[in-house]
Structure 1
Amino acid sequence: MNDKPTIAVIGAGLGGAAVGALLQQAGYPTKVFEQAPTFSRLGAGIHLGPNVMKVMRRIGIEDRLNAMGSHPDFWFSRDGMTGDYQSRIPLGEFARREYGAAYITVHRGDLHALMVDTLDPAQLYFDKRLVDVDDNGDKVVLRFADGTSDEADLVIGADGVNSRIREKLLGPEAPTYSGWVAHRAIISADKLAAYDLDFEACVKWWSEDRHMMVYFVTGDEKEYYYVTGVPEPEWNHGTSFIDSSREEMREAFKGYHPVVQALIDCTEKVTKWPLLERNPLPLWHENRLVLLGDACHPMKPHMAQGAAMAIEDAAMLVRCLEEVGSDRYQQAFELYKANRFERASRVQKVSHDNTWLRHDEDPSWVFGYDVFEEPLKQPQTTTLTSTLGGSPA
């Protein structure tokens, strides 16, 4: 007889899929609810540092990710106008040796597909948009837009920046528009062959107030991806993204290096997304509800660690449930927050400031982290003393 609590995970994104897979592996009866009608390969790239690949190892998909992803030997930062190198951060074999796992870049949709495939398909429910949640003390009742309902002993809100679970805990409050947008595009590498230029495996082009991050998202280097950070004073479109254009990109990156101009010339479709944030939240859990990932610490993508923090959250949450005992879930949730708040807040702050690896620095505090081996800190009263605009919390 399984005496572990039933758990509902709201959201089957990367954090939700990770926590669902790890919970099911640990023997928790776990259902995962996703509002999208079906799985789709969303067109974006993602970095998986050694800190994340250690979680992928535990989930059981590290080898497949290593086979499908691109393995850059360096993270390069270059001056957007002159092309001069500002940093050369060693990855490749150095990362495997020093940090204990590979550093790869991969298509987010391919990663997501692998993670979703690790879930019990009988416990994965699509087209389930949560509209209400009622924690009645003994159980949590979930109500969905299609008129159905379900219940669980514990509920994990992995439902993103507009989380319904976060809203239940803290009330309705829109995330903050950061004043920056991200343009995203995938380019066929075949188009780049016409240019006598060096298209490096992982490079960030910088100028004073904007940047373009570029990398391969497949191991065969057939798809080349870029994502930008560009200031834009307002976002009044009422949607999560809109179409952009080559003309807008040329204007945004006028005067940039010929490699960047070639990427823009080869762009067939580019979209534009608002970058949203929240200040560090005072509350990550209450009673039978707990948050992870963008539901409690959304951040700009400027460290390429947003999804990583959600996946680390997932692993730490399951570790704490196992450490304390799931019958003492309140203590487990406190232990989880105590071991994630400082790190997630620090990554939020560095991402906000957009300074990560612009110049040579030691990234071991990020890449060398092992969520399964990190000594656990005992909970203490946490006082929020700053916002993203100030010093790290």
Structure 2
Amino acid sequence: MQSKPTIAIIGAGLGGAAVAVLLQQAGFKIKVFEQAPEFSRLGAGIHIGPNVMKIFRRMGIEEKVSAMSSHPDFWFSRDGFTGDYLSRIPLGDYALKEYGAAYITVHRGDLHDVMLSPLGSGTVQFNKQLETIEDTGSEVVMTFTDGTTDTADIVIGADGINSRVREELLGVEAPTYSGWVAHRALITGAQLARFNHNFEDCIKWWTEDRHMMVYFTTGRRDEYYYVTGVPEPEWNSSASWVDSSREEMRAAFDGYHPTVQALIDATESVTKWPLKNRNPLPLWSRNRLVLLGDACHPMKPHMAQGACMAIEDAAMLVRCIEEVGLSEYQTAFDLYAANRVERASKVQRISNANTWLRTDEDPSWCFGYDLYGTPLVDIGSKVEGAA
């Protein structure tokens, strides 16, 4: 390898942003390629657990993220029809004391902006959609749809469920439609004020075959977000999302509690997204290519840990590279898989099953996890599915 090897990151979403910042802070030379023309405050809400706030502490952004976010005291689960409480999972001060960091909910766009802020201007190259990638043995050659090419010593695929890097490792295979859709909407505080209801900070309304997760996305409580999980047998659109409507929402949640009906009445714009899956991958890396996040373990959003798992992947990958040195990249990738596959697969399984925190269970195995405080397992301990 060169004296100053280059690491290319394909995709600058939350996982890509995290791995870029952590690699930069560790002194590595990086290039980040993003297919979007720019980033803007689009998207949706997101949960960040104490397990990831501790990674943000290492990145130097914990306080800024905390200051702009909502800090729910509980995760409430309630029966969608009767409103009866199914669980009250303590967060707030309890999370700070028991898990070592806050539990927050925030707008994904706001979080993304803060995560990217430590990177130098020009680090992220936009309008760079990866077309082909070739591992020559001595370097990786990347060709983009704009006709340009670039090279790197290592390539990290943080390019989501439709990862081009994953296709290079495992061949072309479309993700499968899960049979569920997610409706997403942001409601302003002014809209909420029209309704005399107790809109709790973080609540999931459940019935047997569907749910609605609702929470504030700012510390000012001026934005309230919901995301649903609703069965829909087929998805016949090639689009990543389509417009929905209040009428469709009323039909999907017919008979639900009056507070849910008020939320639907307050909705001005709602979209509908297909939820897609992949089976657990047989490998996460090969030679100079390695995957993280949705590129290797996409999951339904029902556990609110998908982005958190991508950020944990990023932190563990950098930790393993630092542990053994980039000249031993294959050992680093094997060590990364040995320390991530079991946890990520467990979260993927529980998230897809949609059972998380429906009853009063102990979430400490997830929220209390300290990536930097947990000793690394050796490569011989890796589980089935690792590279």
Distance 1:122 1:278 in 2: 33
8 Å CA contact 1:275, 1:300 repeated in 2: yes
Distance 1:151 1:52 in 2: 31
Q: Which residue in 2 is equivalent to 1:280?
A: 280
Q: Once the 2 structures are TM-superposed, how far is the Cα of residue 5 of structure 1 from its aligned partner?
A: 2.1
Distance 1:230 1:57 in 2: 36
TM-score calculated relative to the size of structure 1: 0.96
Distance 1:56 1:327 in 2: 27
Distance 2:385 2:289 in 1: 21
Question: Which amino acid is 1:117 matched to?
Answer: S
Q: Deviations over 1:266-318 (max 9, x none)?
A: 10100000111111111100000000000000000000000000000000000
Q: Which residue in 2 is equivalent to 1:390?
A: none
TM-score calculated relative to the size of structure 2: 0.98
Q: Once the 2 structures are TM-superposed, how far is the Cα of residue 147 of structure 1 from its aligned partner?
A: 0.6
Q: Which residue in 2 is equivalent to 1:244?
A: 244
Q: Which residue in 2 is equivalent to 1:262?
A: 262
Distance 2:385 2:12 in 1: 30
Q: Once the 2 structures are TM-superposed, how far is the Cα of residue 382 of structure 1 from its aligned partner?
A: 3.7
Q: Once the 2 structures are TM-superposed, how far is the Cα of residue 369 of structure 1 from its aligned partner?
A: 0.5
Instruction: Indicate the percent of aligned positions where both proteins have the same amino acid.
Output: 70
Q: Does 1:116 align with 2:116?
A: yes
Distance 2:377 2:289 in 1: 21
Superposed, 1:68-217 pairs within 5 Å as 68-217=68-217
Secondary structure of 1:312's aligned partner: helix
Q: Which residue in 2 is equivalent to 1:388?
A: none
Q: Which residue in 2 is equivalent to 1:20?
A: 20
Q: Once the 2 structures are TM-superposed, how far is the Cα of residue 176 of structure 1 from its aligned partner?
A: 1.4
Q: Once the 2 structures are TM-superposed, how far is the Cα of residue 4 of structure 1 from its aligned partner?
A: 4.3
Superposed, 1:273-352 pairs within 5 Å as 273-352=273-352
Superposed, 1:222-233 pairs within 5 Å as 222-233=222-233
Question: Which amino acid is 1:50 matched to?
Answer: P
Q: Deviations over 1:237-260 (max 9, x none)?
A: 001100000000000000000010
Q: Which residue in 2 is equivalent to 1:30?
A: 30
8 Å CA contact 1:203, 1:214 repeated in 2: yes
Q: Which residue in 1 is equivalent to 2:384?
A: 383
Secondary structure of 1:240's aligned partner: coil
Question: Which amino acid is 2:310 matched to?
Answer: A
8 Å CA contact 1:216, 1:225 repeated in 2: yes
Distance 2:190 2:371 in 1: 39
8 Å CA contact 2:339, 2:377 repeated in 1: yes
Distance 2:42 2:75 in 1: 24
8 Å CA contact 2:283, 2:385 repeated in 1: no
8 Å CA contact 1:43, 1:186 repeated in 2: no
Secondary structure of 1:351's aligned partner: helix
Question: Which amino acid is 1:174 matched to?
Answer: A
Distance 1:3 1:66 in 2: 39
Secondary structure of 2:294's aligned partner: helix
Distance 1:186 1:275 in 2: 19
> Unaligned 5+ residue runs, structure 2?
none
Q: Once the 2 structures are TM-superposed, how far is the Cα of residue 262 of structure 1 from its aligned partner?
A: 0.3
Q: Which residue in 2 is equivalent to 1:362?
A: 362
Distance 2:40 2:55 in 1: 23
Distance 1:56 1:382 in 2: 28
Q: Deviations over 1:129-150 (max 9, x none)?
A: 0000010000001100111111
8 Å CA contact 1:106, 1:216 repeated in 2: yes
Distance 2:286 2:15 in 1: 19
Distance 1:266 1:240 in 2: 25
8 Å CA contact 1:4, 1:27 repeated in 2: no
Secondary structure of 1:121's aligned partner: coil
Distance 2:153 2:178 in 1: 36
Q: Which residue in 1 is equivalent to 2:39?
A: 39
8 Å CA contact 1:293, 1:309 repeated in 2: yes
Distance 1:7 1:194 in 2: 51
Q: How many residues align?
A: 384
Secondary structure of 2:361's aligned partner: coil
Distance 2:75 2:149 in 1: 47
8 Å CA contact 2:342, 2:383 repeated in 1: no
Q: Deviations over 1:49-92 (max 9, x none)?
A: 00010111111111011110000000000000000000000000
Q: Deviations over 1:200-255 (max 9, x none)?
A: 00000000000000000000000000000000011110011000000000000000
Distance 2:342 2:67 in 1: 33
Q: Once the 2 structures are TM-superposed, how far is the Cα of residue 41 of structure 1 from its aligned partner?
A: 1.1
Q: Name which of structure 1's ranges 311-320 and 51-60 shifts more when overlaid on structure 2.
A: 51-60
Distance 2:127 2:121 in 1: 14
8 Å CA contact 2:139, 2:152 repeated in 1: yes
Q: Once the 2 structures are TM-superposed, how far is the Cα of residue 159 of structure 1 from its aligned partner?
A: 0.2
Distance 1:383 1:16 in 2: 25
8 Å CA contact 2:293, 2:311 repeated in 1: yes
> Unaligned 5+ residue runs, structure 1?
386-393
